[in-house]
Chains A and B, each alone.
Chain A
Amino acid sequence: MDYILDVQDIHTFIGQYHILQGVSVRVPRGSITALLGRNGAGKTTTLKSILGLTPPRQGKIMFEGNEIQGMLSFNIASLGIGFVPENRSIFRDLSVEENLKIAERKKGDYAGKKGFIFTLFPDLKRLINLSGINLSGGQQQMLAIARALVADNCLLLIDEPSEGLAPVLIEQLMKAIQQLSAYSTVVLVEQNFLVASQLAEYYVIIEEGRSVKEGKMKDLTNDKATIQHYLGAA
């Protein structure tokens, strides 16, 4: 299988704490892969380690066949990795359009992609001149994902997209993520197993800083014992 991202046994420390103690994640090109696990298992730290925000001390991270561990965050991002963080982190003082334009990696990125973005998130077109601070939680999440789509990112890392959103918005977001997976490989961190199982084709379970199980999502959904054991959901 052709893997766009291959994380091999990484160990990451935050301060003196050994957070990741051997995480391996392989992401097939063009797929949606979900990182599953309980709170504090190390899912977000895995994403941050891939991005160089919390660089791993051991292990290897291969992106498109090249080692990227040890590179600076902005260089990693420039390779074509988009990140949608847990807390959305849109720029509050910039308008929706400015938030999108700032994500351009080359001139014309925004102009070329805005048609696609506004098809995915029609609300953003209406709110184009509004400051980020005036957007609701759902609108901020849409903007955060849309921003990651402006540049030509072949890999999107999306952290907890459904967190704190109303069910109707979660449905809208799920549709959008499904649509955008046609253009880009997605790694999804999601607490809500129902959402993850409907979106992802592959999964990796992380438990106490270690990757403990991986495979196809359809196999996991039939394996109630594993779900109950690692995720506490039935």
Chain B
Amino acid sequence: MANHKPFFALKPDRGMLIALLVFILLPFVIGLFDGASPAQVWMNGSGQSKFIQGLAIEIFILALYALSYDLIFGFTGLLSFGHSMFFAVGAYLTGILLKNFGFSLAATFGMIFVASILQALLFGMVLPRVKGITFALVTLGMASVFHVLVLSTELGKFTGSDVGLQGVVVPDFISPATERLRLYFITLTILVVVFMLYKRFVNSTTGRVCTAIRENEGRALMLGYNTFYFKLAALMLSSLTAALAGMMHSIYQPIVSPNVAGLGFTVTALLIILIGGVGTLNGAIIGAVAYRLLDYGLRRYIGESASFINGAVYVLIVLFLPFGIVGTWRMKSLQINQGWKRLLGMFTNSQDKSDGA
């Protein structure tokens, strides 16, 4: 009998299902603590819940962005220093098309889709010629050109130059001011769908070839794979995801700072997956939660000097959790499981012995 496997046939991930449930209930639970009924939260009443929804939307967007970086760096082994460009193109294009050209959201998404494919092709052009750190530097060069362009006064009419793109006109039905809960659930849905798609991708033959390329590209070539197409496929999916994250960023903020096009924002993605665990996917989401909450918490209670402590915390995480939170957890849980088995084995054996006696 033919084995028909549904597209989203995934092993149930208990941890992620619990996380999803928590995120679904979060606005209402926070509302209850704040004295607001679920109905009031549903009607987008102001209060603590609305604030937390905003913080969570930022986390979802960061998680999307980090997932896209994990795909090319964590799974395919392409170290890119120009990843922020993927995000910034989505953010700026959304802002400009909505504000200056009055595009609909669907048309804007269509344009972002095209732009993300084009920018992946741009990065892909150099793939056959450069590898490793050289690829990282070439992509940094491309992203730097884009950064200079958005900062230029000639394009200031559209990009807002060094002040950033301000006053993006967001459709009412997803306005972060009046329809934040809806925006919250839309962003959460996008994250869940992208996460499932990525899981499917990395477990597919294409995904395994990407892993093989990361480990030993020469071997993948010798198995008859034209590795260029696989790297390009990963770049395209990553570019589309990062641009989508940029689009949601533009809608939520709704301003676009030129910082999102700089090297610092690529480092943010790298930092998030280092915290969460490189090449784990779950780690990108957990890393985004840890990164944003740490940043928010420290800034709130310490102020601007929080950056110093932030940096120290990241160094400690990298030192003591070298495989990130998820990577280290996976290793330790294996040891814990083996320990439990040994312990249970000891009891079972002693039980057997006493039964025998």
Same complex: yes
A residues whose Cβ falls under 8 Å from a Cβ of B: 51, 53, 72-74, 77-78, 83, 85, 89, 91-94, 98, 101-105, 147, 151
Q: Is the CB of B215 within 8 A of A91?
A: yes
Q: Is the CB of B208 within 8 A of A102?
A: yes
Measured between alpha carbons, how far is A47 from B172 in the docked complex, in Å?
65
Chain A residues with CB under 8 Å of B218's CB are 53, 73, 89
Given contacts A73-B221, A77-B224, A83-B222, contact A92 B208 (CB under 8 A): no
Q: How far is the CB of B158 from chain A (nearest CB, A)?
A: 43
Closest to B227 in A: A74
* Residue B205, interface by CB 8 Å: yes
Interface of B: prevailing SS: helix
Chain A residues with CB under 8 Å of B205's CB are 101-102, 104
8 Å CB contact of A91 from B212, B224, B279: B212
Q: How far is the CB of A48 from chain B (nearest CB, A)?
A: 9
A-B contact pairs, 10 of them (CB 8 A): A72-B226, A73-B222, A74-B222, A77-B221, A78-B224, A91-B216, A93-B211, A102-B208, A105-B224, A151-B224
A-B Cβ contacts below 8 A, count: 52
B residues 196-253 touching A (CB-CB < 8 Å): 205, 208-209, 211-212, 215-216, 218-219, 221-227
Q: How far is the CB of B283 from chain A (nearest CB, A)?
A: 15
8 Å CB contact of B222 from A77, A92, A94: A77
Given contacts A91-B219, A93-B215, contact A102 B224 (CB under 8 A): no
Closest to B212 in A: A91
B residues 166-210 touching A (CB-CB < 8 Å): 205, 208-209
Chain B residues with CB under 8 Å of A102's CB are 205, 208-209, 212, 223
Measured between alpha carbons, how far is A72 from B208 in the docked complex, in Å?
22
Measured between alpha carbons, how far is A73 from B227 in the docked complex, in Å?
11
- Sample of 7 more A-B contacts, CB < 8 Å, known A85-B219, A89-B216, A94-B211: A51-B222, A53-B218, A73-B218, A74-B225, A74-B226, A93-B279, A101-B205
